């Protein structure tokens, strides 16, 4: 049994003219000690899926489906019970460390407040644990840093602090929402390396959310690609990166530079832009931008089916077309 | 629907305003506008609506509200209802005049400061700071005291204290509008200061200034009636609301003498604030009181 | 500094370059020319204006604000009697406005767009729209005259005597002297005028707090606080309100200006022997030194309050704190 299983998740947000479905029947599973990736452009519903797991969707959002964590359905939990899961069992790292740490609270407070609430530690024990975590994420002068405010640190250092905040209660899953997107390229590798090391040392599972397949391929074990609220393809990362089978996955990959491969392929952007969630196209939601689209794509919604150890929602297999 | 045209920011005068401003469809705005419209009509048609003249001395003195005198009568037998109606002819237009004067002076001074910057700006803003250091009513107290208590002097005093608000707001708006590319471009093309200010900058300034003036209108009514209440504005027997409330305090048990004129002040100020607040929401959706939704 | 000198010059010029004749205002009907001469000489009104201004500055540095023509006492002495009464009223009123305004604003923001929000919005608009003097009269009529819940004015019951002078604020002095019955009596007299003065500021603060809190709630660090599983109370008070506090504090300067304006009206209605009443009485008798002293004092308070607000802002927001 997987640590976290999401089944047929749907999220509806209130819109000006009736509810808008931003996540439309999503399934995925996070295994113990693995990194599971959700990929897709902004607006594809990946962040909403993650927020649904933590029960942190906007106030009037509606959630359908099941989110099973260690045998409990998180969707059905009461707010009070959910609070003992958040931060303690499932923690979250946000995209922009410049805004995800409270600017007026010290690093020490950010690290210890939920630690003390969840684990009922004494002030001294909490402080000791906070120093330990800051050492683990390689913050220089951990003791002194406890009394500092976030603005004293650089973006990369702040993200390290945010990771320490997420990990301090020893959660079993960390949701990392674009953890490197807001950082300088030179800093990104360090943060990814840190996440990977912490996962191996602590047996942590990670739900990684990013639009950057380069980041994905460097640490994720398995990936699901989302488009306009639905999963279009999922499978083992290495496999999928080498041989994408959904036209959208292929498009995302061709838009990615490969300097290390010395590869001469031109960078190709996917034409058009994703549909507005208020007005999704019928049939396959990708068909207006798809170069392989056939007539049935315009009318029939392709089902996610098992193909060669992978799941694919496309009747046209680009590999077959190409070769 | 080309994306290129969306990227270019058009000067405000080319953006079309919707025929019925969305703010006016909201309940508070509608309530405010309705109350205000009633008061304006009352001010215009007071002689037709009022059952008695404002200064007609009747036979029943200090009479409680009855069918003959729905707001009662005062110590001299004057009909309070009629006096309240006639009062609209003083408080509303005079406060409007006061706002208009402060707005004109403040906007002119503020746009000069914002447009030219430098020494002009420095001097003007020091003066503005100085006036801000004195609460309105204290300055008004001094001015009306030395010029003598009268409605004209009270208006003069309040203009002296209220123009800096406009100057400060307009200065900021003009400064930020001057930074816009199309304004800079038109300056480079040799437009005169007058042209640039009136044609390119003014449309950006007008919205916030209208909101400010609406809210300030209410404030002007409050301050003006406050001064009259203290005996520094309109003098008896003028049927001015603040002066009538003040008159009523001498006959404390006869509550109707000051309650109804006060209610007139309250309702007209409240209407203006309902309206101004809704307009402010429409102009500045962030942190506004009515827009919904949050993050995506 | 330049502002302070400007304030002195303005209050002097305003009160001296005027057509009104203080001698006539103070000596009653038809004074003889020699009476006027004596009066002018005694009050330094026979010298040229620049000389009067110079003398005013010199005296000011000696703490001498001139002599009130109305009371015959030094203006500085009159002010020192009136200031504690106004301070007690103003501070109490600001505290009341802060408690209710910030509370209402917070609730309105948390219940955004709901019925509570709408009701509080109307309440705040009523607060800023109601004429202070009229509200005072209505309150006096109902709460004093009809119901007898509150006394009808002045600082103490006629049967009570003022506590020994320490701060001049009766509630504080009564506590210092351990005279409980006097304390309750002073508080009883203080509450109604203070609440009436608080109405406008309560409206102002409700509106301001609401928009500050809504702005804060958009930030990722609030979502991060929820993701840590903190209790609702900690999120609301420890994170949301904490982050909104600096911008709420900036309104206190404006609130003080409102209180001084209201004090002129309320002190006259409640026979409260403070600055407002003193200023009003001296303006009706054209008591020039007294008016100059009052406006000078109020301008100085304004400058001091704004300075304190700046300092407080720095204390509350570590990002602007001087390192």
- Asked if residue C204 is part of any domain, the answer here is yes
What is the ipTM for the molecules in this complex? 0.87
B293 touches chain A (CB under 8 A): yes
- Asked if residue B63 is part of any domain, the answer here is no
- Asked if residue B66 is part of any domain, the answer here is no
Structural domain including C213 reads 76-273
B245 touches chain C (CB under 8 A): yes
Q: Which residues of chain A have pLDDT under 50?
A: 322-323
Chain C partners within 8 Å of B289 (Cβ): 117, 121, 207, 210
* pLDDT of the residue at C24: 61
In Å, how far is A123's CA from the nearest CA of chain B?
A: 36
Selected residues 18-47 of chain B with any CB under 8 Å from a CB in chain C = 28
A91 touches chain C (CB under 8 A): yes
A58 touches chain B (CB under 8 A): yes
Give the three-class secondary structure for C293. Answer: helix
B194 touches chain A (CB under 8 A): no
A174 touches chain C (CB under 8 A): no
Structure tokens, B291: 């827009």
Interhelix angle for C252-269 vs B202-229, to 10°? 20
Question: What CATH number has the domain bearing residue C194?
Answer: 1.10.3720.10
In Å, how far is A146's CA from the nearest CA of chain B?
A: 31
Which of B13-22, B166-175, C108-117, C249-258 is predicted least confidently? B13-22
- How many separate helices (H) and strands (E) can be counted in chain C? 15, 0
Asked if A58's CB is within 8 angstroms of B294's CB, the reply is: yes
Q: In what order do the strands lie in the sheet with A222-227?
A: A90-93, A173-177, A205-210, A35-39, A222-227, A230-236, A310-312, A305-307
Q: Cα separation of B71 and B262, whole Å? A: 12
* pLDDT of the residue at C28: 62
How many A×B Cβ pairs under 8 Å?
6
* pLDDT of the residue at A129: 93
- Asked if residue C178 is part of any domain, the answer here is yes
Chain A partners within 8 Å of C225 (Cβ): 102
Give the up-direction half-sphere exposure of residue C68: CA atoms within 13 A in the CB hemisphere: 20
- Asked if residue B91 is part of any domain, the answer here is yes
Query: Which residue of C6, C132, C215 is in closest CB contact with B130?
Result: C6
pLDDT tier at C16 (50, 70, 90 boundaries)?
A: low
Asked if C7's CB is within 8 angstroms of B133's CB, the reply is: yes
Q: Cα separation of C260 and B13, whole Å? A: 42
Sign of CA dihedral A197, A203, A204, A210: positive
Asked if C211's CB is within 8 angstroms of B287's CB, the reply is: yes
Selected residue with higher pLDDT from B201 and C280: C280
Closest among A244, A246, A243 to A284, alpha carbons compared: A246
Interface test with A, best of B285, B291, B292, B293 (most A CBs within 10 A): B293
pLDDT tier at C29 (50, 70, 90 boundaries)?
A: low
B295: nearest CA in chain A?
A58
Q: Is the pLDDT of residue C286 over 90?
A: no
Selected residue with higher pLDDT from C285 and C275: C275
In Å, how far is A238's CA from the nearest CA of chain B?
A: 32
Structural domain including B136 reads 21-56+77-283
Please name the chains neighbouring A, where neighbouring means 3+ C-beta pairs under 8 angstroms. Answer: B, C
Contact (Cβ atoms closer than 8 angstroms) between residue A279 and residue A18: no
- Asked if residue B13 is part of any domain, the answer here is no
| Number of domains within chain C | 1
Selected residue with higher pLDDT from A284 and C98: C98
Q: What is the pTM of this model?
A: 0.84
What's the CA angle centered on A302, arms A298 and A304, to 5 degrees?
160
B167 touches chain C (CB under 8 A): no
Q: Cα separation of A313 and B73, whole Å? A: 84
Return the H-helix or E-strand segment holding C198. helix C180-217
Selected residue with higher pLDDT from B253 and C32: B253
* pLDDT of the residue at A318: 56
In Å, how far is A58's CA from the nearest CA of chain C?
A: 10
B2 touches chain A (CB under 8 A): no
The arithmetic mean of pLDDT across residues C172-190, rounded, is: 92
Q: Cα separation of C285 and C25, whole Å? A: 6
* Domains identified in chain A and CATH numbers: 4-89+171-246 (3.40.50.300)
- Asked if residue B64 is part of any domain, the answer here is no
Asked if A149's CB is within 8 angstroms of C227's CB, the reply is: no
- Asked if residue B191 is part of any domain, the answer here is yes
- Asked if residue B68 is part of any domain, the answer here is no
Question: What CATH number has the domain bearing residue B259?
Answer: 1.10.3720.10
* pLDDT of the residue at A323: 40
| Number of domains within chain B | 1
Asked if B136's CB is within 8 angstroms of C138's CB, the reply is: no
- Asked if residue B160 is part of any domain, the answer here is yes
pLDDT tier at C26 (50, 70, 90 boundaries)?
A: low
In Å, how far is C202's CA from the nearest CA of chain A?
A: 26
Structure tokens, B166: 């406009």
* pLDDT of the residue at B180: 78
Asked if B232's CB is within 8 angstroms of C137's CB, the reply is: no
Q: Is the pLDDT of residue C222 over 80?
A: yes
- For A103-130, b where at least 16 C-beta lie within 10 A, e where not — what string? bbbbbbebbbbbbbbbeebeeeebbebb
Chain A partners within 8 Å of C224 (Cβ): 92, 94, 100-102, 162, 165
Backbone φ, ψ for residue C157 (5° rounding): -65, 150
Asked if C230's CB is within 8 angstroms of A117's CB, the reply is: yes
- Asked if residue C46 is part of any domain, the answer here is no
- Asked if residue C177 is part of any domain, the answer here is yes
* pLDDT of the residue at B19: 43
The per-residue pLDDT for range C34-69, each reduced to its tens digit, is 777 777 676 666 677 777 777 777 777 777 777 887
Asked if C218's CB is within 8 angstroms of B295's CB, the reply is: yes
How far is C-alpha A241 from the geometric centre of its chain's CA atoms?
A: 18
Asked if C219's CB is within 8 angstroms of A85's CB, the reply is: no
pLDDT in single tens digits along all 296 residues of chain B = 333 333 344 444 444 444 444 545 578 889 999 999 999 999 999 888 888 888 878 777 777 888 878 888 888 888 889 999 999 999 999 999 999 999 999 999 998 898 888 888 888 888 888 887 777 777 777 777 677 888 888 898 889 888 998 999 999 888 888 777 777 777 777 777 777 777 777 777 888 888 889 889 999 999 999 999 998 888 888 889 999 999 888 888 888 888 999 999 999 999 999 998 888 877 765 444 433 333 22
- Asked if residue C230 is part of any domain, the answer here is yes
């Amino acid at each position: 049994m997987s640590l976290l299983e999401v089944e047929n998740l749907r999220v509806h947000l209130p819109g000006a003219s009736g509810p808008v479905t931003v996540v439309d029947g999503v399934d995925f599973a996070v295994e113990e000690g693995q990194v599971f990736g959700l990929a897709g452009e902004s607006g594809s519903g990946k962040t909403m899926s993650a927020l649904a797991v933590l029960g942190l969707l906007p106030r009037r959002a509606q959630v359908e489906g099941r989110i099973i964590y260690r045998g409990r359905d998180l969707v059905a939990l009461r707010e009070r019970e959910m609070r003992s899961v958040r931060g303690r069992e499932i923690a979250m790292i946000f995209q922009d460390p410049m805004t995800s740490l409270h600017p007026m609270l010290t690093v020490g407070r950010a690290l210890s407040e939920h630690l003390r609430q969840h684990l009922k530690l004494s002030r001294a024990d909490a402080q000791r644990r906070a120093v330990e975590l800051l050492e683990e994420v390689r913050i220089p002068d951990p003791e002194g840093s406890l009394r500092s405010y976030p603005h004293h640190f650089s973006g990369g250092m702040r993200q390290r602090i945010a990771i320490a905040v997420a990990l301090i209660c020893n959660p079993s899953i960390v949701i990392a929402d674009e953890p490197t997107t807001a950082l300088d390229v030179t800093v990104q590798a360090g943060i990814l390396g840190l996440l990977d090391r912490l996962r191996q040392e602590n047996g942590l599972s990670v739900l990684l959310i990013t639009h950057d397949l380069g980041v994905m391929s460097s640490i994720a074990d398995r990936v699901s690609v989302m488009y306009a609220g639905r999963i279009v393809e999922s499978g083992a990362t290495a496999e999928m990166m080498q041989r994408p089978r959904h036209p959208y996955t292929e498009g995302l990959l061709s838009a990615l530079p490969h300097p290390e491969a010395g590869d001469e392929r031109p960078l190709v952007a996917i034409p058009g832009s994703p549909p507005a969630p208020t007005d999704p196209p019928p049939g396959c939601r990708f068909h207006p931008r798809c170069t392989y689209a056939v007539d049935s794509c315009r009318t029939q919604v392709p089902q996610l089916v098992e193909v060669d150890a992978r799941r694919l929602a496309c009747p046209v297999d680009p590999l077959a077309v190409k070769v | 629907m080309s994306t290129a045209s969306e990227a270019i920011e058009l000067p405000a005068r080319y953006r079309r305003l919707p025929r019925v401003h969305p703010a006016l469809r909201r309940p508070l705005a509608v309530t405010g506008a309705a109350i205000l419209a009633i008061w304006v009509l009352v001010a215009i048609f007071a002689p037709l609506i009022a059952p008695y003249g404002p200064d007609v001395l009747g036979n029943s003195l200090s009479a409680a509200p009855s069918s003959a005198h729905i707001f009662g009568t005062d110590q001299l037998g004057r009909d309070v209802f009629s006096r309240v109606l006639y009062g609209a002819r003083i408080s509303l237009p005079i406060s409007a005049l006061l706002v208009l004067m402060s707005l004109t002076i403040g906007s002119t001074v503020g746009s000069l400061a914002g447009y030219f910057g430098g020494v002009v700006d420095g001097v003007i803003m020091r003066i503005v700071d100085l006036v801000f250091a004195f609460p309105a009513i204290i300055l008004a107290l001094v001015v009306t005291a030395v010029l003598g208590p009268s409605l004209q002097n009270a208006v003069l005093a309040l203009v002296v204290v209220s123009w800096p608000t406009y100057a400060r707001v307009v200065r900021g708006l003009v400064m930020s509008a001057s930074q816009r590319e199309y304004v800079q471009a038109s300056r480079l093309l040799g437009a005169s200061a007058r042209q640039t200010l009136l044609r390119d900058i003014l449309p950006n300034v007008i919205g916030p200034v209208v909101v400010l003036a609406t809210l300030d209108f209410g404030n002007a009514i409050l301050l003006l009636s406050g001064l009259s209440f203290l005996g520094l504005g309109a003098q008896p027997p003028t049927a001015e609301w603040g002066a009538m409330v003040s008159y009523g305090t001498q006959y404390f048990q006869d509550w109707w003498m000051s309650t109804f004129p006060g209610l007139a002040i309250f309702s007209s100020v409240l209407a203006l604030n309902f309206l101004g607040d809704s307009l402010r929401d429409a102009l500045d959706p962030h942190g506004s009181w009515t827009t919904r939704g949050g993050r995506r | 500094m330049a502002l302070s000198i400007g304030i002195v010059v303005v209050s002097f010029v305003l009160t001296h370059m005027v057509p009104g004749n203080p001698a006539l205002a103070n000596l009653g009907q038809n004074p003889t020319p020699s009476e006027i001469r004596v009066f002018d000489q005694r009050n330094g009104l026979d010298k040229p204006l620049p000389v009067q201004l110079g003398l005013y500055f010199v005296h000011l540095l000696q703490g001498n604000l001139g002599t009130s023509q109305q009371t015959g006492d030094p203006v500085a002495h009159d002010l020192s009697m009136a200031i504690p009464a106004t301070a007690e009223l103003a501070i109490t009123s600001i505290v009341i406005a802060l408690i209710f305004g910030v509370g209402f604003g917070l609730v309105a923001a948390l219940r955004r767009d709901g019925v509570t929000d709408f009701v509080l919005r109307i309440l705040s608009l009523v607060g800023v729209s109601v004429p202070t003097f009229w509200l005072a009269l209505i309150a006096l009529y109902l709460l004093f005259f009809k119901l007898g819940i509150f006394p009808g004015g002045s600082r103490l019951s006629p049967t009570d005597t003022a506590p020994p002078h320490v701060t001049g604020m009766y509630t504080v002095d009564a506590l210092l002297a351990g005279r409980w019955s006097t304390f309750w009596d002073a508080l009883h007299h203080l509450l109604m005028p203070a609440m009436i003065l608080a109405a406008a500021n309560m409206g102002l603060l409700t509106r301001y707090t609401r928009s500050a809190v809504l702005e804060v709630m958009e930030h990722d660090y609030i979502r991060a606080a929820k993701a840590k599983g903190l209790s609702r109370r900690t999120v609301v008070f420890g994170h949301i309100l904490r982050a909104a506090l600096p911008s709420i504090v900036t309104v206190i300067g404006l609130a003080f200006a409102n209180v001084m304006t209201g004090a002129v009206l309320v002190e006259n209605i409640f026979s409260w022997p403070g600055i407002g009443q003193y200023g009003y009485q001296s303006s009706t008798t054209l008591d020039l030194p007294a008016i100059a002293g009052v406006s000078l004092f109020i301008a100085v308070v304004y400058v001091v309050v704004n300075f304190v607000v700046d300092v407080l802002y720095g204390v509350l927001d570590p990002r602007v704190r001087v390192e």
